[in-house]
């Protein structure tokens, strides 16, 4: 009977007008009757008088013919029908009404005795998913993970197959993976928010500082429950905190209604690119080298990448003339530049823009009437604060005033970077400036399609923009933890750049910000030839060999884009202070051997 119920249920086709319009009730009645009809007919016609039997048979035939007027139905019901009346099935697939059917019923019209043919294949999937590339977690990392398994095995069996004991993941700016400690105050507040029992326990003040308890209570009063969806744009009190942070950073007003909280900056960037790209004739200007979130997302959404080169010789400087060249080049190819992406401080290049340069960029966008997308996730990672302090694009635009009135700017920030380094919590925000209300409503709609940014991430955003202040119990610890992380990052950046600059054929601009060094490696001709013979980009070939010889995982420059004929790699300087010296020595030893081998 259950099978019969399933079969009958699947006869109702949600795509069919007949089943979905006012006749629906009628159809379900027929279906209901048919269940019994079939049952009775199948059971035994002897129970019925011949005339009753004929009526029932007629009703059944009517229902079956009605079903066949639906343009589709399932293989299983088809099979039953075929058995009943040897009726040839229609050949389309149906959308099941009842999810049980998905589990229990074969969903296509193939003969189930033939091998299953997959409906989703590499050949028929969305092509831009296949062409999008994201090197930061690409081939090198997959290799590194395989080696990590080997190392596990080596450890268990007490053997020594490889000349190193661990993989050092320098491929990604993921500070806590490399043992950066979280800021205590942040985790205390989070713990209390996530566990209301703890917050309400009589002993809470014996374990947590008073300001962490007060902050958690305040947050929970506005959030309610971290397990519930918040508004699509984010929790109102957190939006206000972000606006207050921007105001005090820039000295200009910020409106909470222009802020969208997001699951990290990545989601915010993707949302804006989704809005800007209609087809290949829409172009997005991105720096070369760039962080591959941009190239991958532009590809995914079917737009065009318009690269502008940063000048390595001038410390990865950004020149207005190069912006002009890239813009004109696109226009000459029939592509409309829609937006300019600036990553400041830069990834992978680590350069920090000065205010004069930023004004040029803003004026350029204003003149060309293109949206400025300002990726400022590394705003706390500036190591040249004395000479080039971080200045936001929002401030530059506001300071320029009437001159750039109307400019559309979207700025991104994240909890993943800086001394916070809470990558796994997925918190971030974007601020809109000069975006029309109509477009803002569409951005809101996009946010609401995803329901809401995760609430735990929103709490971390609130903590990032509203850390403990002087006089509060946690302030001293907070400052100590923050400064220790920052000072150490700066030392590690210097150490790594100096070590790289000491290698034969390697030059590395001093990282002014962010978390990466991006050295240029001049590879011997024989190494380039061998790489090509192996079907690898020369810098990828170098990085693979580095990984296999030392366990250090870095990302080839080709994953970020680089001038033709130049080769680079990106490495973070996130390994701990104790570890970084060892990393430098291992890279140096490997490099010496590599150069000697291919000379």
Tell me the closest approach of the beta carbon of residue 138 to ligand DCS, in angstroms: 12
Q: Structure tokens of 315?
A: 């410390």
Which of residues 56 and 288 has its CB atom nearest to ligand DCS in the complex?
A: 288
136-170 CB burial, b ≥16 within 10 A, e <16: bebbbbebbeebeeebeeeeeeeeeebeeeebbbb
C-alpha–C-alpha distance, residues 356 and 345, integer Å: 15
C-alpha–C-alpha distance, residues 540 and 547, integer Å: 10
Strand positions, DSSP E, 255-325: 259-262, 282-288, 304-309
Strand positions, DSSP E, 148-281: 168-169, 259-262
Which of residues 5 and 133 has its CB atom nearest to ligand DCS in the complex?
A: 133
Applying CB under 6 A, which residues contact ligand DCS?
Answer: 136, 172-174, 264-266, 291, 293, 343, 347, 375, 377, 414, 416, 423, 428
C-alpha–C-alpha distance, residues 571 and 173, integer Å: 9
Which of residues 182 and 209 has its CB atom nearest to ligand DCS in the complex?
A: 182
Which of residues 67 and 414 has its CB atom nearest to ligand DCS in the complex?
A: 414
Work out whether the CA dihedral 188, 191, 194, 195 comes out positive or negative: negative
Tell me the closest approach of the beta carbon of residue 432 to ligand DCS, in angstroms: 17
CA 277 to the chain's CA centroid: 17
CB neighbours of 518 closer than 8 A, spacing ≥ 6?
A: 289, 316, 348, 349, 350, 508, 509, 557, 560, 568, 569, 570
Tell me the closest approach of the beta carbon of residue 417 to ligand DCS, in angstroms: 7
Q: Is 542 helix (H, G, I), strand (E, B) or coil?
A: helix
Name residue 506's beta-bridge partners. Answer: 521
Tell me the closest approach of the beta carbon of residue 453 to ligand DCS, in angstroms: 11
Which of residues 170 and 189 has its CB atom nearest to ligand DCS in the complex?
A: 170
Which of residues 326 and 347 has its CB atom nearest to ligand DCS in the complex?
A: 347
Report the residue number whose CB is nearest to ligand DCS. Answer: 264
CB neighbours of 122 closer than 8 A, spacing ≥ 6?
A: 130
Which of residues 349 and 474 has its CB atom nearest to ligand DCS in the complex?
A: 349
Tell me the closest approach of the beta carbon of residue 348 to ligand DCS, in angstroms: 7
Tell me the closest approach of the beta carbon of residue 441 to ligand DCS, in angstroms: 24
Which of residues 211 and 462 has its CB atom nearest to ligand DCS in the complex?
A: 462
């Amino acid at each position: 009977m259950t099978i019969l119920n399933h079969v009958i249920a699947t006869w109702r086709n949600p795509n069919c007008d007949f089943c979905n319009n006012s006749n629906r009730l009628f159809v379900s009645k027929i279906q209901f009757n048919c269940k019994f009809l079939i049952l009775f007919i199948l059971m035994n016609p002897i129970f019925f008088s011949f005339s009753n039997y004929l009526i029932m048979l007629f009703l059944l035939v009517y229902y079956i013919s009605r079903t066949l007027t639906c343009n589709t139905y399932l293989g299983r019901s088809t099979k039953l029908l075929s058995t009943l009346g040897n009726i040839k099935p229609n050949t389309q697939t149906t959308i099941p009404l009842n999810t049980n059917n998905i589990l229990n019923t074969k969903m296509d019209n193939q003969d189930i005795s033939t091998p299953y043919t997959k409906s989703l294949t590499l050949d028929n999937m969305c092509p831009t998913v296949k062409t999008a590339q994201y090197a930061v977690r690409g081939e090198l990392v997959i290799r590194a993970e395989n080696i990590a398994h080997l190392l596990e095995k080596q450890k268990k069996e007490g053997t020594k197959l490889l000349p190193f004991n661990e993989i050092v993941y320098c491929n990604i700016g993921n500070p806590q993976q490399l043992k950066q400690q979280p800021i205590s105050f942040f985790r205390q507040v989070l713990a209390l928010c996530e566990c209301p029992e703890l917050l309400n326990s009589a002993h809470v003040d014996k374990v947590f500082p008073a300001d962490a308890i007060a902050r958690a209570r305040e947050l929970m009063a506005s959030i309610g429950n971290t397990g519930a969806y918040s508004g699509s744009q984010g929790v109102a009190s957190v939006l206000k905190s972000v606006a207050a942070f921007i105001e005090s950073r820039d000295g200009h007003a910020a409106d909470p209604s222009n802020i969208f909280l997001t699951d990290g900056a990545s989601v915010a960037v993707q949302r804006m690119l989704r809005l800007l790209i209609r087809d290949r004739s829409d172009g997005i200007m991105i720096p070369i080298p760039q962080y591959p979130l941009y190239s991958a997302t532009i590809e995914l959404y079917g737009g065009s990448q318009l690269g502008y080169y940063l000048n390595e010789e001038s410390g990865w400087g950004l020149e207005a003339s190069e912006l002009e060249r890239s813009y004109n080049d696109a226009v000459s190819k029939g592509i409309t530049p829609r937006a300019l992406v600036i990553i400041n401080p830069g990834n992978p290049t680590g350069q920090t823009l000065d205010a004069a340069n930023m004004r040029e960029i803003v004026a350029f966008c204003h003149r060309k009437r293109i949206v400025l997308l300002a990726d400022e996730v590394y705003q706390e990672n500036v190591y040249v604060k004395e000479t080039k302090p971080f200045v936001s694009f929002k401030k530059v635009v506001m300071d320029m005033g009437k001159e750039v009135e109307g400019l559309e700017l979207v700025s991104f920030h994240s909890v993943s970077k800086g001394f916070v380094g809470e990558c796994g919590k997925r918190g971030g925000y974007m601020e809109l400036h000069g975006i029309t209300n109509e477009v803002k409503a569409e951005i809101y709609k996009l946010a609401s399609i995803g329901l809401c940014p995760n609430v735990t991430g929103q709490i971390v955003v609130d903590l990032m923009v509203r850390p403990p202040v002087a006089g509060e119990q946690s302030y001293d610890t907070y400052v100590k933890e923050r400064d220790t992380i920052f000072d150490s990052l700066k030392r590690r950046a210097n150490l790594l750049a100096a070590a790289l600059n000491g290698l034969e054929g390697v030059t590395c601009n001093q990282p002014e910000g962010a978390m990466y060094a991006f050295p240029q490696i001049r590879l011997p001709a024989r190494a380039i030839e061998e790489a090509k013979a192996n079907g690898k980009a020369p810098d990828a070939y170098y990085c693979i060999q580095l990984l296999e010889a030392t366990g250090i995982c870095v990302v080839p420059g080709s994953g970020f884009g680089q001038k033709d004929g130049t080769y680079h790699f990106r490495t973070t300087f996130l390994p701990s202070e104790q570890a970084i010296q060892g990393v430098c020595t291992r890279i140096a030893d490997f490099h010496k051997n590599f150069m000697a081998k291919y000379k």
